[in-house]
Structure 1
């Protein structure tokens, strides 16, 4: 009979203790996770306010050069800020009033001229394609689609409350942006002093230089666009007066603002309203307006704009259009308006604070230069 010896007795497995740091780490992980959720919740709640502050900051940068000019002439900063913003709001309200008046008159003229335009259009179709349509036939077919029209009417009526709420919310947001912009502009020196007090002396000059750079680019963009808008308004107003189009001054201002602040395609978008107005006078005038818009857009993009923006904001046309689309997707119309000065400011920062290296001459980079060198080196024949 085998008797187990003490040496052969199986021993119980040793108990593994939890590391002392593990409970503390778990508690800290839960605390940090809770703080992350709280920060994420607060960020989403405050996104609208952050956007308002961002827009107000850029508006204050755009207003700073005009306010600085008045301050240098002895006007108190608060009064100078008020004068600049009141003048800006007056110009915006005047433009909106002219635009509403223009749209109402255009709609009224189109309503009066629609029967004549329909008769002329039906006659042209019958003569061109050998058909026998009449306006009465078209109206009867339209009446058969009354259910569809009624559906659109009910949908518009159901959305009326939502649209009105959106408009009121937009007005409240604009007023909030204006209020913060006034405070930031009037207290600009105080804001800069507060930020500088948080930085070491070596960083204060860098911050002030970056602030001045942002003011130069944003203000330069605004004033260069205003100059382009004035030139465009005068050119289009004179051309529309030659064609005897109604309200040429209001249409010229519409052309100027849209073509100046929407890059590349602004003139074509602005041409929509004058084309509708021209249709109530003479359809051939609509063709002339489109041709003039194409020619003027080419003149503005390749001759006028590079000379005006050479000392203020120099952004490639493709990059400008891309930035406008991105700004519009992120912040709507306000984002589209601020996209180009933000891009120009970022471009200026990168050009000053990012290290650049000399590029070696290579025909794959400088094809035009290489071609000119080969042409100059080629022997001439008498």
Structure 2
């Protein structure tokens, strides 16, 4: 027997909630909606903060492993395009990987050997000149600039002790220094071998490794994870290739300027400029400051001003021409975000953390952008997904729902109808 549509439930109907509400439910009238919302935000903020805190602590504990893997990932982003190009040219991928790896090691070893020979030979003859130049710098900073003599003396004395040791026995390392140096060398060598091993397998078999990782993702989220991973990888590769090209041009420009001006150690300062380009903002400043200090210590104020002008010109060309032209397709990071990324990376892992901080931030930003774009595409679908409509007192009728969705109200039959089992109906988008 059908109920009268005009009949309304009585005041004492069991379907009505209690007057004061039930504590802990969404219908609790004793707690304002704003307080409930603020409480949920606080709970989620604390939960996310706890996860981030423990993740950072784990990254600090496993700092060597994390940095080694990130170094291998950076090497992979540099080597993989060359290996893929050789693979498309007909060379087997395994042979191409070995060839690129051997060429990279030969270039790295050649640069280190040449740098050691040049710096060691020139520094031995320039130590007295650099020491006297640093003494002139001490007097200029104290008398002209007005800095604290104690701080200037401690800084300059430390530099002089590194440039020109005071005695034969002063520079002789003791057993403890030799042991610590050997331990550090072994640690660096082990990290380098592990990074090269990681890069080799990621270059050679990275596609299959990525497919294996995608199997861990639920099937309905696999496409989004794949799109985010591909976007992040393109961002990392573009960032590193662009940074390498810009760093090479900076090193060539400043190196030529140092040779023309006659500053000692031009090759070493050019290599420092090249490496400093991988640390945005701070790296260029440190490399330029080192070149100016060497020029001042060896040739005086005029030579230092010429070097300063050359560094400013090269960096202006880089910032206004090379960066927009070469790195226009990479993810843009605001300078404020770059500075904070460098700060966090430096606090966690030192100089190595500052090197990997910016590309890691760019990758995380690219993943967030890809996931947000994917989510936006899903939200753009006009069909309701997973929407359950309640029928009964206080609920929306089928006619109201159909009118809101722009569909004619049906009788519930067929694929367009909604079942009313248990007082609920599913939207057609769920089928």
TMscore range, shorter length: 0.5 to 0.7
Mean Cα deviation higher: 244-253 or 233-242: 244-253
Q: Distance in 1 between matches of 2:332 and 2:253?
A: 24
3-state DSSP of counterpart to 2:344: helix
Q: By how many angstroms is 1:71 displaced?
A: 2.0
Unaligned runs of 5+ in 1: 1-41, 129-148, 358-382
Distance in 1 separating the partners of 2:241 and 2:265: 26
Map residues 175-186 of structure 1 onto 2, 5 A cutoff. 175-186=193-204
Root mean square deviation of aligned Cα: 3.8
Sort the Cα spacing of 1:344 and 1:43 in 2 relative to 1 into closer, same or farther, 3 A. Answer: closer
Which residue of 235, 240, 250 maps to 1:217? 235
Look up the match of 2:333. Answer: 315
What residue is the counterpart of 2:96 in the other structure? 80
1:66-215 alignment runs, 5 A limit = 66-113=82-129, 117=133, 153=170, 157=174, 158-199=176-217, 201-215=219-233
- Give the total of aligned pairs: 293
Distance 1:90 1:275, change over 3 A: farther
In structure 2, the CA distance between the partners of 1:52 and 1:119, relative to structure 1 (3 Å rule), is: closer
Structure 2 CA distance for partners of 1:162 and 1:318, relative to 1, 3 Å = same
Q: TM-score, normalised by structure 1?
A: 0.64
TM-score, normalisation: structure 2: 0.58
**Pairing 1:52-63 to 2, within 5 Å after superposition:** 52-63=68-79
Q: 1:112 to 1:74 in 2, by over 3 A?
A: same
2: CA distance between counterparts of 1:119 and 1:194?
61
The DSSP-based 3-state class of the residue aligned with 1:263 is coil
Against the structure 1 CA distance between its residues 124 and 167, is the aligned structure 2 distance closer, same or farther, given a 3 Å change threshold? closer
CA displacement at 1:120 relative to structure 2? 7.7
Contact 1:313/1:341 (CA < 8 Å) preserved in 2?
Answer: no
Q: Counterparts of 1:43 and 1:327 in 2: how far apart (Å)?
A: 11
- How far the C-alpha of 1:265 sits from its partner, in A, is 2.6
Q: Structure 1 residues 50-59 or 239-248, which shifts more?
A: 50-59
- With over 3 angstroms needed to count, the CA separation of the structure-2 counterparts of 1:229 and 1:54, relative to structure 1, is closer
More helix by share: 1
| SS class of match (2:262) | coil
Q: Per-residue displacement from partner, 1:65-114 (whole Å, max 9, x unpaired)?
A: 33222222222222222223233333333333343334324432332425
Q: Deviations over 1:173-216 (max 9, x none)?
A: 11112112212221212212323344455433333322322221
Mapped to 2, the partners of 1:315 and 1:83 lie a distance apart of 35
Task: Describe the superposition over 1:317-366 as per-residue Cα deviations: whole angstroms up to 9, x where unpaired.
Answer: 23223212322332333332222221111111222223699xxxxxxxxx
**Residues in 2 aligned to 1:184 and 1:123: alpha-carbon distance in whole angstroms:** 54
Query: Any conservation in 2 of the 1:106–1:277 contact (CA below 8 Å)?
Result: no
1:260-297: CA deviation from partner (whole Å, max 9, x where unpaired): 21211322311344345433345421222123223433
**Aligned equivalents of 2:309, 2:93: Cα separation in 1:** 47
Partner of 1:237: 255
Verify the 8 A CA contact 1:98 1:250 in the aligned structure 2: no
- 1:330 is matched with 348
Q: Is it true that 1:268 corresponds to 2:288 in the alignment?
A: no
Query: Matches of 1:248 and 1:222 in 2, distance apart?
Result: 25
Per the TM alignment, residue 298 of structure 1 is displaced from its structure 2 partner at its CA by 3.7
- The answer to whether the 8 Å contact 2:119/2:268 transfers is no
Q: CA deviation at 1:227?
A: 0.9
Q: In 2 relative to 1, CA 189–354 (structure 1 residues): closer, same or farther, beyond 3 Å?
A: closer
Residue 228 (str. 1) matches residue 228 (str. 2) = no
Map Cα deviations across residues 211-257 of structure 1 (whole Å, 9 max, x no partner).
32222111111110111012112211222232133454554343233
* Residue pair 1:64, 1:185 contacting (<8 A) in 2 also: yes
